Structure 1
Amino acid sequence: MRRGTVIHGVDLVAEIRHQTAVHNRNNLTRTEAYLRFYLQYPEVNWALLAHLVSRNGGWNMTDLRGEWLPRLMSEEDIQSFFAFLERCNWLIFHDAYPQLLLYATMKRESEDLTSLLPDLGVSRFMVPIWRDFLQSGNGARLSRALIINEQQYIEQRVVKHPFYRDQVLESFPFLAQSILSLNQILFPYRDQSAAKRPRLTGVSVKNFPSVERRINVGKTLYKLLFDDPRRHQAIIDWATRVTHTGSRADYWPEIFSPIPTSRLEVPYQERLKGAELLPGRPKLYSPPLPRVWPDTVQPAADGTDWYRDEKWLRFLEEDDLIPTIDENDYASGLNMVEAGLQMVALIS
């Protein structure tokens, strides 16, 4: 490169890192940044998927201070779970958002700047992918690559990290959440029906420690998001209309409340029948994120490149999809949680 280009590159890398840090403050700022990017560059399909998955990350964080989990988990477990969720959320944004910002610059300047990806700490796996995208515009292939890359990115840094493995992934509360169907990723949307609340589509996340399983979860969600044009537009309409607060009242305010409705020390009473509140029963507490979790300062990510084995290239083409769920499955899961709570109350 000419000296002027190198200086330009250094300045650009510094600015991208600065903008990433600004928007990586918490789950709300990340989620909004993904959506703003997608609305400006809809050809980068993955940004919409990232926005919606990030919404779910926020809901999982506030569940830890909501109606149910404080009745089932110790404060130590709650803190460990939040640290796990925040670290995953932070790391993925830390790695992916610079790629999005570099693409925005490349499109604005009509210049291939993919040689700067390594300077941003991006895996060499992604360099030919972005170069191909600049030529082909193949958003599906780019999305598959980003799904693979981000799941691999957190594999060593979180999933196999001794603290998160021992304190979260191998702990009873994490297994209990899977059994009780609390580990779900949901996309709300409104269709042409007269239903009073949004419909839901998504997946249940099981066997989280498996990177292959997480990649297949991402691919399944991508298919749900983009295969049906009418549902795709309905999901965008909902996401742009409803601001992400971290509370599950964002999508089902008929049964979730962003303000407390009961005291934890009061024995829990059954609230739901299917997806409806029982007469006279209070809503389920689901707080906004800023009310229950402060911003955190995350340690820097190491610069290790995960890409050492070409076997992962087959995941760019092969789809091994998992079963999906809808609002009826979600309601059944909520009822299962209530049954579990009542069982715990009887035992104690």
Structure 2
Amino acid sequence: MIIIIQCLKKIFSGEKITPELKAIKKDLIKKLRPTIHENQLNDVERDLVASIRQETKNRNIDNVSRTDAYLDFYKKYPEIHWAFLGHMVSRNGGWNMTDLKGSMLTRLLSEKEQADFFAFLERGNWLIFQDIYPQMLLYAESVERNTNLFYLLPMFHVSFFMGVIWNHFYRVKDEYVLAMALIVNEQSYLEKRVIQNPYYQKTVLEKLEFKLQELLELNQIIFPYFDGKEVKMIGQTIQQFGSLSDRILLGKRLYQILFDPENYPSIYRWATLHKHTGSRKDFWPQLFNDINEADPWDSYQRRIKDCRLKPGAPKLYSPILSHAWDHVEQKKAEIGEWYANWKVIHYLNRDDSKTNGDIYHEYCKTLERIEIAILAKGAFSPKKAAH
């Protein structure tokens, strides 16, 4: 935590904050923090907390159910921009999960490496949902009942930081500040529980991310959209997934791309017309199929050039999530408060600069590099073939 505070001082030294953020700062530096315990709840509050916990559990089964839940919520409450951002980023999480069982990575990773990477992705996906979804449901109840219910946030172990932000949003309705705060919260929430977790450090971040950083591009986030004729893509890539600040800044850039008036209608239209399955066929059926067209006993031959299949080549296998991985029963989330310094509000400052989301050629090159790596490895085993 000391390192994080030092980084904040370095990044934001001399940067001013707006009057709105000064009001948030005033609430954040209060020494007395609101607390509430189960035995202090009345029957109505107790029923509400139980209902939110159950609904969160019901929708937190796997990546597909979470991704659908975010979009369902956003359709009802479009002022909560993070819900749509979360939906689109969660789609990418699902694609990364099924890539591990697709045509290409099964030839580069052992079964244990595939399982380790999936465990890392699934734990992070699960943790974010169990933290953010109760917040969103509590907001929905506050709207429906026309009363501020955010005093109940501690019942879900939500950060003090988000309690301040939600109360501010309930009064001011600043959609941008709320979205930025949720980006900061979710990435900070993951920091100790996943990114700094010794197990994931050893099995994924030190081993697999290094091994695949120029191949898989795990941190490549794609937003498909309609251009009127065909599906295209925009997005971003992060180079330092282990850096909390880099992940937060990536989230801000993704938000700018997603809610740019030139991009948003086309991306939203695509998302509402294409149900998330986990397969990359969802956005690129001309290149991917959720049925394996190749003979699993054949050696791998290059199939792609400039994101087009070579004549006669089978499509890349990209299974749906339910065919790739079984449901995982997760252990309870680790209890802990990440918030320690008010300077994190500098991340909430508005940035109106336009972000370049051109990612098509970068993604195409990534696929070609993976093919080259498969051929360079030169070892094909039927056990590793994608069925």
TM range (shorter): over 0.9
Cα displacement string for residues 28-54 of structure 1 (whole angstroms, at most 9, x for unaligned residues): 100000000000000000000000011
> What does residue 205 of structure 1 align with?
238
- Given the alignment of the two structures, is residue 273 of structure 1 paired with residue 309 of structure 2, yes or no? no
> Is residue 217–residue 321 contact of structure 1 (8 Å, CA) maintained in 2?
no
Q: How does 1:231-242 map to 2 (within 5 A)?
A: 231-242=263-274
SS at match of 2:113: helix
Among 213, 220, 226, the alignment partner of 1:178 is: 213
Q: How far apart, in 2, do the equivalents of 1:124 and 1:108 lie?
A: 24
| Structure 1 vs Structure 2 CA RMSD | 2.1
Give the AA of the match of 2:73.
F
> What does residue 342 of structure 2 align with?
310
Q: Which runs of 5 or more structure 1 residues have no equivalent in the other structure?
A: none
Among 176, 181, 188, the alignment partner of 1:140 is: 176
Question: Offset of 1:86 from its aligned partner?
Answer: 0.4
Tell which deviates more after alignment, 130-139 or 333-342: 333-342
Q: How far apart, in 1, do the equivalents of 2:259 and 2:357 lie?
A: 14
> What does residue 286 of structure 1 align with?
318
Give the AA of the match of 2:132.
A
Q: How far apart, in 2, do the equivalents of 1:326 and 1:4 lie?
A: 52
SS at match of 2:213: helix
Question: Offset of 1:4 from its aligned partner?
Answer: 10
Question: Offset of 1:323 from its aligned partner?
Answer: 6.1
- Over 3 Å counting, the alpha-carbon distance change for 1:121 and 1:5 in structure 2 is closer
- Given the alignment of the two structures, is residue 244 of structure 1 paired with residue 280 of structure 2, yes or no? no
> Is residue 178–residue 205 contact of structure 1 (8 Å, CA) maintained in 2?
no
Larger Rg: 2
SS at match of 1:125: helix
Q: How far apart, in 1, do the equivalents of 2:114 and 2:142 lie?
A: 42
Q: How does 1:147-158 map to 2 (within 5 A)?
A: 147-158=183-194
Give the AA of the match of 2:210.
L
**TM-score, scaled to structure 1:** 0.93
Q: How far apart, in 2, do the equivalents of 1:8 and 1:14 lie?
A: 10
Cα displacement string for residues 233-283 of structure 1 (whole angstroms, at most 9, x for unaligned residues): 111110010010000000000010101122454221000110110000100
Q: How far apart, in 2, do the equivalents of 1:127 and 1:4 lie?
A: 18
More RCO (CA 8 Å, sep 6+) = 2
Question: Offset of 1:302 from its aligned partner?
Answer: 1.9
Cα displacement string for residues 82-118 of structure 1 (whole angstroms, at most 9, x for unaligned residues): 1000000000000000000000000001101110111
- Over 3 Å counting, the alpha-carbon distance change for 1:10 and 1:149 in structure 2 is same
- Over 3 Å counting, the alpha-carbon distance change for 1:235 and 1:160 in structure 2 is same
Q: How far apart, in 1, do the equivalents of 2:378 and 2:175 lie?
A: 49
Q: How does 1:248-259 map to 2 (within 5 A)?
A: 248-259=280-291
Q: How far apart, in 1, do the equivalents of 2:307 and 2:60 lie?
A: 34
Q: How does 1:209-228 map to 2 (within 5 A)?
A: 209-227=242-260
Cα displacement string for residues 133-189 of structure 1 (whole angstroms, at most 9, x for unaligned residues): 112211111010000000011111111111100000000x32232212532110000
Q: How far apart, in 2, do the equivalents of 1:230 and 1:213 lie?
A: 25
Question: Offset of 1:322 from its aligned partner?
Answer: 7.6
Give the AA of the match of 1:187.
F
Give the AA of the match of 1:240.
T
Q: Which runs of 5 or more structure 2 residues have no equivalent in the other structure?
A: 1-35, 382-387
> Is residue 123–residue 305 contact of structure 1 (8 Å, CA) maintained in 2?
yes
Q: How far apart, in 2, do the equivalents of 1:222 and 1:6 lie?
A: 39
